């Protein structure tokens, strides 16, 4: 019987020698049911409350996956999730409050990072350095500089990394991409991307208060600035505060901009970024991130435009979120519920295509297959995740400094001194920005 680690090593050599098909060619079937008893994959989850748990749940559909460790700074969340894993698998994972202790364990093959955005970079880089593969939630990071160091870490330590942009594994998104590539839409001069959600306006603020029992708030803040506890900045709601997240543009924008960039074959930075935004709809909004925001990403012969209005849930074509590719022959509109083509004067056929809603499951399966075959080309690589996370940060930075911007990705600089200050966060001691 081949041991798990020999299996992983041998498969990597086989791929290098061209003997094994890359898993992307057959994402769901290649290894899922072909793993022997010794080929267990031990995973740990860091950040267990919401999306991290959703991720782990789809990992645990696979019998070869064992969850051997859970890590969270909230004991209530930790104990609750541990009980659920025990119910599913008759075995309680070991519980941790410090992710570095998880990474010391030699038996762990992969970590899932489901922490808030300001807490992705350090555990991801440290996990790569510790020889773990990583499934990291989107946006990969809360700043441009963190995106860059995470890409560098994945490469330096040769780790398989999947970014939690599961639309990259969605069947109807692949069909959409194929349709766009066919050229039937004619010349696409504009892509509109939007997301309007109630949750992104915080209209019921509460005063700062005591830290809830069982919560290690100091560690939750981590590298972010010190401050007193406020329930409206904590679980889930941290998204609307610059130190931890970037509002709707980073939360939904990365998923949707990813599709816009993929559809338009964009691999680098736009020529210019022009944004405008503020808390205009709800001036008393407790959120720092902008309830109203428009961003134009400018290229030689087309533009991509983002818009959001937090505190509302309606939008174009009856969709509160989505994107449209406006071609000279027709408009393609898409979101997670469907994609459709609306012809311009009958120039092309009308189409409506529905998804199979398997994207998240397939995304996890793709990661596991890539781990086994040592295929670095996951369905959403760290480069894919980095590109659209940077786009989201570019849009926010332009709105925050109230200026159109040019960003030079080689020199890591804007043409604006105020914007340059927002490229890299100042990590609070004892946390240190990773140096590779």
Ligand X SMILES: NC(=O)c1ccc[n+]([C@@H]2O[C@H](COP(=O)([O-])OP(=O)(O)OC[C@H]3O[C@@H](n4cnc5c(N)ncnc54)[C@H](O)[C@@H]3O)[C@@H](O)[C@H]2O)c1
Interacting residue ranges for ligand X, rule: CB under 6 A: 46-52, 71-74, 77, 99, 114-117, 119, 137-138, 164, 166, 219-220, 222, 235-236, 251
Nearest approach, Cβ of residue 44 and ligand X (Å): 11
Cβ 331 vs Cβ 320: under 8 Å: no
**Complex with ligand X: residue 80 or 186, whichever CB lies closer:** 80
Cβ 339 vs Cβ 128: under 8 Å: no
Nearest approach, Cβ of residue 123 and ligand X (Å): 7
- Please, what is the Cα angle at 172 between 170 and 175, to 5 degrees? 115
**Complex with ligand X: residue 222 or 311, whichever CB lies closer:** 222
Instruction: Specify the 3-state DSSP secondary structure of 224.
Output: coil
d(CA 150, CA 157) in angstroms, rounded, equals 11
HSE-CB of 294 using CA atoms within 13 angstroms = 6
**Complex with ligand X: residue 95 or 406, whichever CB lies closer:** 95
Nearest approach, Cβ of residue 249 and ligand X (Å): 12
**Complex with ligand X: residue 16 or 83, whichever CB lies closer:** 83
Nearest approach, Cβ of residue 411 and ligand X (Å): 28
**Complex with ligand X: residue 11 or 366, whichever CB lies closer:** 366
Strands 407-408 and 413-414: antiparallel
Nearest approach, Cβ of residue 406 and ligand X (Å): 28
**Complex with ligand X: residue 49 or 372, whichever CB lies closer:** 49
Q: Quote the tokens at residue 181.
A: 């590539």
Strands 188-195 and 321-327: antiparallel
**Which residue, among 146, 388, 412, 397, has the nearest Cα to 273 in the 3D structure?**
397
Rounded to 5 degrees, what are φ and ψ at 86?
Answer: -60, -40
Nearest approach, Cβ of residue 313 and ligand X (Å): 17
């Amino acid at each position: 019987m081949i041991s798990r680690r020999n299996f992983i090593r041998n498969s990597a050599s086989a791929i290098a020698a061209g003997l094994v098909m890359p898993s992307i060619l057959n994402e769901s079937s290649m290894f899922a049911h072909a793993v022997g008893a010794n080929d267990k994959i031990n995973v740990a989850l860091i950040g267990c409350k919401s999306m991290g748990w959703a991720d782990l749940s789809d990992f645990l559909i696979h019998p070869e996956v064992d969850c051997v460790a859970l890590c969270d700074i909230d004991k209530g969340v930790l104990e609750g999730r541990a009980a659920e894993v025990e119910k599913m698998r008759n075995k309680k994972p070991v519980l941790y409050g410090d992710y570095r202790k998880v990474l010391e364990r030699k038996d762990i093959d992969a970590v899932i990072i489901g922490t808030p955005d300001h807490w992705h970079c350090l555990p991801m880089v440290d996990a790569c350095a510790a020889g773990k593969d990583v499934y990291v939630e989107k946006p990969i990071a809360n700043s441009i500089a963190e995106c860059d160091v995470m890409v560098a870490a994945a490469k330096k330590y040769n780790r398989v990394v999947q970014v939690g942009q599961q639309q990259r594994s969605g069947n109807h998104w692949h069909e959409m991409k194929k349709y766009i590539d066919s050229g039937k839409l004619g010349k696409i001069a504009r892509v509109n991307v939007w997301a309007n959600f109630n949750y992104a306006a915080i209209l019921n603020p509460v005063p700062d208060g005591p830290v809830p029992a069982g919560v290690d708030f100091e560690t939750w803040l981590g590298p972010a600035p010190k401050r007193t506890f406020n329930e409206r900045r904590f679980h889930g709601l941290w998204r609307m505060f610059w130190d931890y997240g970037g509002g709707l543009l980073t939360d939904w924008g990365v998923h949707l901009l990813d599709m816009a960039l993929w559809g338009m074959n964009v691999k680098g930075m736009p020529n210019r970024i022009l944004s405008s935004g503020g808390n205009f709809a709800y001036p008393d909004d407790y959120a720092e991130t902008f309830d109203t925001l428009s961003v134009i990403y400018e290229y030689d012969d087309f533009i991509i435009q983002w818009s959001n209005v937090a505190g509302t849930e309606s939008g174009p074509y009856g969709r509160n979120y989505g994107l449209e590719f406006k071609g000279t022959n027709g408009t393609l509109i898409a979101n997670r519920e469907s994609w459709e083509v609306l012809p311009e004067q009958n120039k092309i056929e009308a189409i409506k295509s529905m998804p199979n809603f398997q994207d998240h499951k397939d995304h996890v399966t793709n990661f596991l297959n890539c781990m086994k075959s040592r295929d670095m080309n996951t369905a959403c690589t760290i480069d894919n995740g980095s590109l659209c996370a940077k786009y989201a940060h570019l849009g926010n930075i332009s709105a925050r400094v109230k200026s159109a911007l040019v960003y030079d990705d080689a020199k890591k600089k804007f043409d604006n001194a105020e914007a340059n200050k927002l490229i890299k966060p100042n990590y609070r001691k004892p946390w240190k920005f990773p140096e590779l």
